[in-house]
């Protein structure tokens, strides 16, 4: 299915003062994706995509800076989470992972490690079918500060199956760094940097993520899927929990 551009309205977690930049990123990004993902990318399509990256570089950097200032606290985040990663080019159709988190506290913070299992998503979908698919990613352990922040790097290129890519349906190859802040026992979130090298080159600066505690992979929150830190710190954690096979 060919990607379709979203309506130009701010998402439920987008502060109103940043809405114009968000609309521009979504609309320009969607147009670039539609040109670049129809069959084999042509030189003209790749040129349009590169033009999008050049024209929105400052806005993507601004988005990253705005969402970095989210505070944080040290809390026990052991357990299972739905981690949604909103790529700067298509934030309303985030990639989703079932994250199993191991947190070991210490006197000055702690250590955290996690296993990220990709979840399948239909093209442009956010809630279906969401079943485990492809290889899981093991990351960490990394240090957590006394303020509850940590950096989670994935320095070696990793591949996420196209079945977990609701944006284009193509396999993704990327390196990532998640700059995270623990908001509560039930939520950690932050910004994402790195590079996608397939199916197209994409600087991920301006991307965000959020991880919300869930009971199990069979009981995931519905729309809206949270993929950004709440504007006021810890707070809303996405839609109502329910059977992932029937939410939508």
Q: Is residue 239 part of a domain?
A: no
Q: Are residues 29 and 95 in the same domain?
A: no
Q: Are residues 137 and 103 in the same domain?
A: yes
CA 16 – CA 3 distance, rounded (Å)? 25
Q: Are residues 80 and 197 in the same domain?
A: yes
Q: Are residues 129 and 203 in the same domain?
A: yes
What confidence tens digit (pLDDT) does each residue in 70-106 have? 556 899 999 999 999 999 999 999 999 999 999 999 9
Q: Are residues 104 and 226 in the same domain?
A: yes
Q: Are residues 121 and 214 in the same domain?
A: yes
Q: How many domains does the chain have?
A: 2
pLDDT of residue 49: 53
Q: Are residues 117 and 24 in the same domain?
A: no
User: 3-20: b or e for each residue (b if 16 or more CB lie within 10 Å)?
Assistant: beebeeeebebbeeebee
Q: Is residue 2 part of a domain?
A: no
Confidence of residue 224 (pLDDT cuts 50, 70, 90): very high
Q: Are residues 57 and 93 in the same domain?
A: no
CA 80 – CA 5 distance, rounded (Å)? 32
User: 89-105: b or e for each residue (b if 16 or more CB lie within 10 Å)?
Assistant: bbbbbbbbbbbbbebee
Q: Are residues 51 and 79 in the same domain?
A: no
Q: Are residues 102 and 188 in the same domain?
A: yes
Q: Which has the minimum average pLDDT: 7-11, 118-122, 133-137, 239-243?
A: 7-11
The phi-psi region of residue 39 (left if phi > 0; otherwise alpha if psi is between -120 and 50; otherwise beta) is left
CA 146 – CA 248 distance, rounded (Å)? 38
What confidence tens digit (pLDDT) does each residue in 125-183 have? 999 999 999 999 999 999 999 999 999 999 899 999 999 999 999 999 999 999 999 99
- Of the candidates 154, 158, 153, the one whose C-alpha atom is nearest the C-alpha of residue 143 is 153
pLDDT of residue 187: 98
CA 47 – CA 43 distance, rounded (Å)? 6
Q: Is residue 247 part of a domain?
A: no
Q: Which has the minimum average pLDDT: 53-57, 139-143, 236-240?
A: 236-240
> Dihedral through CA 178, CA 65, CA 189, CA 247, nearest 10?
-110
Q: Are residues 151 and 187 in the same domain?
A: yes
pLDDT of residue 186: 98
Helix axes 43-55, 19-36, angle to 10 degrees: 170
Q: Are residues 112 and 31 in the same domain?
A: no
Instruction: Determine the structural domain holding residue 142 and report its residue range.
Output: 71-230
Helix axes 19-36, 57-68, angle to 10 degrees: 130
CA 152 – CA 143 distance, rounded (Å)? 9
């Amino acid at each position: 299915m060919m990607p379709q551009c979203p309506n130009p309205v701010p998402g439920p977690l987008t502060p109103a003062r940043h809405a114009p930049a968000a609309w521009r990123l979504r609309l320009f990004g969607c147009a670039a994706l539609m040109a670049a993902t129809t069959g084999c990318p042509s030189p003209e399509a790749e040129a349009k995509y590169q033009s999008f990256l050049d024209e929105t570089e400052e806005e993507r950097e601004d988005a990253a800076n705005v969402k970095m200032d989210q505070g944080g606290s040290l809390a026990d985040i052991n357990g299972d989470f739905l981690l949604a990663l909103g790529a700067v080019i298509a934030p309303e159709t985030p990639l989703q992972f079932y994250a199993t988190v191991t947190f070991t506290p210490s006197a000055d913070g702690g250590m955290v490690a996690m296993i990220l299992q990709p979840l399948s998503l239909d093209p442009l979908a956010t809630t279906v079918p969401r079943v485990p698919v492809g290889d899981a990613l093991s990351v960490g352990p990394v240090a957590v500060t006394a303020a509850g922040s940590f950096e989670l790097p994935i320095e070696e290129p990793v591949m996420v199956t196209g079945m977990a890519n609701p944006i284009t349906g193509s396999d993704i190859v990327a390196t990532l760094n998640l700059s995270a802040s623990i908001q509560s026992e039930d939520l950690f979130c932050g910004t994402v940097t790195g590079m996608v090298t397939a199916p197209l080159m994409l600087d991920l600066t301006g991307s965000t993520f959020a991880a919300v505690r869930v009971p199990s992979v069979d009981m995931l929150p519905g729309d809206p899927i949270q993929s950004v830190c709440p504007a006021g710190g810890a707070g809303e954690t996405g839609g109502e929990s329910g059977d992932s096979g029937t939410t939508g």
